[in-house]
Amino acid sequence: MASEREYFDLSGPLHLTSVDWDDANNRMTVAASLVQGVYILERDRQERREGPNALAPPWWDFFNFKLLRPLIDDVDSSIFGAIYEFKPQSSQSNDLLHRRIPRYVIAFRGTITKTDSVSRDIELDMHIVRNGLHQTSRAEIAIQAVRNMVASANDSNIWLSGHSLGSAMAMLCGKTMAKTGKLLESFLFNPPYVAAPIERIKDKKLKHGIRFAGSVITAGLTIAMKVKQPRNLTFDSFAALSSWVPCLFVNPSDHICSEYVGYFEHRRRMQEIGAGGIERLASQNSLTGLLMSASGNESSEPLHLIPSANLTLNVTPSRDFKEAHGIHQWWQPDLHLESKFYKY
């Protein structure tokens, strides 16, 4: 049975009758709605809702997008992503000349806790924790879809968008393309940050002390690992990503993504106190990943660590974790948002 939030007419951003593509909040609303379209596509599949009974199409039709094709997981046949094309009405045909409007949007959903998809989604969530999402077949399908679209789009504007698990997938695709010089505008809602929940500590001095100690240890281990091993390209690849500035949408009450607040603010504070060199080493490595490498386990650069970002916080009070982590918050008309730009 469909929930109220699956119906666009009941819970969608009906207030946005005309999109101002120069407005950051409008772009955020469109990107979040297209992610919701992927969620509902999969729910339509699970509930066998087809034709006039399908609930997903209004989530993209409302903004004049067309579904080009869904992205299908090869393990459980679930729909985990979608490629959309902007199709303005004839009276709006000149809109495509606007540099802010995406010609294509590739969106990824997060975990769905329903029988048909939950086991595969949770398996992928565990891969995020172990920093192994890039080794999964779903990630291979996603990255190849993005590569193909970039190759065939003839420099058209392409967006990436995702929520939670889907945000991690969009992050992986965005980083992969950025390393080839293709900087895709990216909207990452509640992106997972794999770390201890330091941001939940109320005492600011204690919190800074813990972060400072963690930076010193991480930087020291990074130097030690580089001495023992041939020079790798971790720093170079991290610096190469600095021109890619994804938009991160974080709720401070959501412990899955809230560490991004401390990650960027701590880096700024370390620069202010003259410890920028330590933090530059620490901010590109995770302590867990370094310890795994030291013990002989294969490791790769942490997915959640990025050099630059446009970080938007939803500081509207949340009733519970489910609300703080949900995609629905990002198209509400009465949000209290705070945005900061961080450049590496």
User: Residue 195 — pLDDT band, cuts 50, 70, 90?
Assistant: confident
| Domains contained in the chain, number | 2
136-164 tens-digit pLDDT: 999 999 999 999 999 998 878 999 999 99
User: Residue 265 — pLDDT band, cuts 50, 70, 90?
Assistant: confident
Residues 164 and 238 grouped into a single domain: no
Task: Select from 147, 166, 189 the last residue of a domain.
Answer: 189
Residues 75 and 213 grouped into a single domain: no
Residues 116 and 167 grouped into a single domain: yes
Residues 123 and 213 grouped into a single domain: no
Rounded Cα–Cα distance for residues 123 and 116 (Å): 13
Domain presence at residue 305: no
Question: Tokens in use for 272?
Answer: 């202010």
Residues 180 and 268 grouped into a single domain: no
Domain presence at residue 300: no
Question: Tokens in use for 177?
Answer: 């393309």
Domain presence at residue 262: yes
> In this predicted model, which residue has the larger pLDDT, 315 or 98?
315
Residues 287 and 203 grouped into a single domain: yes
Residues 206 and 151 grouped into a single domain: no
Residues 40 and 19 grouped into a single domain: yes
- Nearest Cα to Cα of residue 174 among 162, 164, 190, 165: 162
Domain presence at residue 310: no
- Nearest Cα to Cα of residue 207 among 194, 221, 192, 196: 196
Residues spanned by the domain of 143? 4-189
Domain presence at residue 15: yes
Domain presence at residue 174: yes
Residues 158 and 273 grouped into a single domain: no
Q: Is 91 in a helix, a strand, or coil?
A: helix
DSSP assignment of 2-62, as one string?
--GGG-HHHHS-TT-SS--TT-HHHHHHHHHHHHHHHHHHHHHHHHT--GGG-SSTHHHHT
Domain presence at residue 88: yes
pLDDT, residue 300, reads 61
Residues 107 and 31 grouped into a single domain: yes
Domain presence at residue 334: no
Residues 215 and 127 grouped into a single domain: no
User: Residue 277 — pLDDT band, cuts 50, 70, 90?
Assistant: low
Residues 125 and 210 grouped into a single domain: no
Half-sphere exposure of 335 (CA within 13 A, CB side): 22
